Structure 1
């Protein structure tokens, strides 16, 4: 079931948490969707290659090179299965404090970065063009940093998932700037 705070496509799922009042904290998640068919295919391939290797080994044939290649292929298939170790990336917007970026890995490791609100100049949506592909990215222009800070370090979600996060960041930054520039005159 998809609610109004979710966007789903074949690779990613975007959700927005609204546990707290909207003024207190705003949490945006981008989850990586795992394909069960891909997992099944890889497991089946590994089982077939290993069973064939075991059969050739037990038949006492001159099959040592084939056995080594089958182990290498099995390792390759397992690597394909675990190719994207990122489970989700999260943007936590705290209007009074700043923005925290989190990357959650399948291994359980979490990498967090915090940017104070007074150091963030502007969130920007950029179109990135490479010789192979074109994609959108969300970045933060941060004071005293030489380059843009990518919000999603590992994932490349589509622009329709980036826009709500960008709008929330812009609203938060503009509100803070409005408070800073309002000197009462």
Structure 2
């Protein structure tokens, strides 16, 4: 069982090279590291802001406090459902690639792409006026758009290269870095 880790301030890359009964599954996980203190600060800020807003509207402290607690609990709950904990690329060499997104609420979103439909994995560089980042995408037969392996996170290129190389091996494409 091969376990390789690359740690960044925001992300941890974990590679499990031989998982499963036949040691053929290649899984790559990106774990998002977030501090728990910011959740408390956001909740406190929402509570204070909504309490003052409701107090000025209702002019009753206890009613305003109750309304602000209910509203902030609803906002924090909706925030938890959208938080991403982990994104994974699981490669089944004979079958295909499974892209997984794990949310804080426990929900898991999975997409499976058959190996014969993948034409080529590509590394894209996105340049904006304010930042530059890389993404890993799959060129799929029959689709007009690229399928992003990691939709929500913007990873450094040193974490994307091992995943890209594993996808190139699985899809039997050459590992060439074209700079056109």
TM-score band by shorter chain is 0.7 to 0.9
- Which TM-score applies when normalising by structure 1? 0.72
CA contact 2:3–2:14 (8 Å) conserved in 1: no
- Corresponding residue for residue 11 of structure 2: 12
Deviations 1:81-138 (A, max 9, x none): 6485111111010111111111111122211111111111110001012233221000
Structure 2: runs of 5 or more not aligned: 175-180
* Distance 1:32-1:80 versus aligned 2 partners, 3 A rule: farther
Gaps of 5+ in 1: 178-185
Quote the Cα distance in structure 2 between the aligned partners of 1:79 and 1:133.
31
Structure 2 contact 81–104 (Cα < 8 Å) conserved: no
Q: Residues 62, 41 of structure 1: CA spacing in aligned structure 2 closer, same or farther, 3 A cutoff?
A: closer
State the Cα RMSD in Å: 3.5
Within a 5 Å distance, the mapping from 1:22-101 to structure 2 comes to: 24-45=24-45, 49=48, 62=59, 67=64, 71=68, 74=72, 78=76, 82=80, 85-101=83-99
Question: Looking at CA atoms only, which structure, 1 or 2, has the larger radius of gyration?
Answer: 1
Q: Taking structure 2 as the reference length, what is the TM-score of the superposition? A: 0.74
Decide whether the 8 Å contact of 1:23 with 1:95 is kept in 2: no
Q: State the number of aligned residues.
A: 165
1:120 alignment counterpart: 118
- Indicate how the Cα distance of structure 1 residues 63 and 24 shifts in structure 2: closer, same or farther if over 3 A, else same: same
